[in-house]
Homo-oligomer: A and B are copies of this chain.
Amino acid sequence: MPGIRMTEEARPPRRERVRERQRREMLEAALRLFSEKGYHNVTMHEIAEGAEFAIGTLYKYFKNKEDLYRALLLETADEFHAGILKAIEEKEDEIDKFRNFVRTKAELFRIHLPLIRLYFSETYGESFNLKSGLDSEIRRRHDESLKTLASVFESGMKKRRFKRIADPYSLAIALDGITTAFLFQWIEAPECRPFPEDPDAILDILFKGLADR
């Protein structure tokens, strides 16, 4: 009877899909609550309730609160960094790569704003294990972006498009730092200034040079 077989064969993928959906719902509820109230001020019960599951079900998916938090942060960090790397790589021209980096970083900031806030607020302290474990994972990703940016500076210098005013890695730090500074400015007072979508305004600061010769 093919009907039965099909059902049986189809089962694992469906189970899998249900599991994945439920997991997402839990992570979403957790993120919502964490960003509202901070990691330590959210109870596992609240998360379960927020995701509309029983507390026991929550613990079936994440073996404890820390594990849930880790999953939340790392999975988003992955998405964030994949986006950054893709943005740099998908353009040919160096300037375009920078433009796309700034624009995409801004967009990813906007999308993941709650989690970015959470990261800057709660990473530290949470017992050394969590901190160093998590931080080093995330830092590794960040450093990878910086190195990718640095290689773009390097390649632009080789082609004589950019002056060698500093070593490429420092320039990567600078570009990343300026971008972050503007984005935080926006985060902290989003009503005061428009979301800085225009990468050229940011890039100009690096490219034009203040010195008036």
Contact = CB atoms under 8 A, between A and B. Distances in A.
Interface in A164-185: 165-166, 170-171, 173-174, 176-182, 185
A85 to B, nearest CB: 19
B125 A39 contact: yes
A37 interface: yes
A41 B127 contact: yes
A122 interface: yes
Contacts of A202: 174
A4 interface: no
Interface residues of A, number: 51
Within the oligomer, what is the number of copies of this chain? 4
A184 B38 CA distance: 23
A35 to B, nearest CB: 8
Interface in A187-204: 188, 201-202, 204
Chain B CB count within 10 A is highest, among A37, A208, A210, for A210
Interface stretch (A13-21, A48-56, A155-163): A155-163
B163 A212 contact: yes
A30 B180 CA distance: 30
Chain B CB count within 10 A is highest, among A156, A161, A212, for A212
A162 B37 contact: no
B41 A125 contact: yes
Given A37-B127, A124-B120, A205 B163 contact: no
Given A120-B124, A173-B181, 19 more contacts: A38-B127, A40-B126, A41-B127, A121-B122, A122-B122, A122-B124, A122-B125, A156-B210, A163-B208, A163-B209, A166-B204, A170-B182, A171-B205, A174-B178, A174-B202, A174-B205, A177-B181, A206-B210, A207-B211
10 contacts: A38-B124, A121-B125, A165-B209, A166-B205, A173-B185, A174-B178, A177-B177, A180-B181, A207-B209, A209-B209
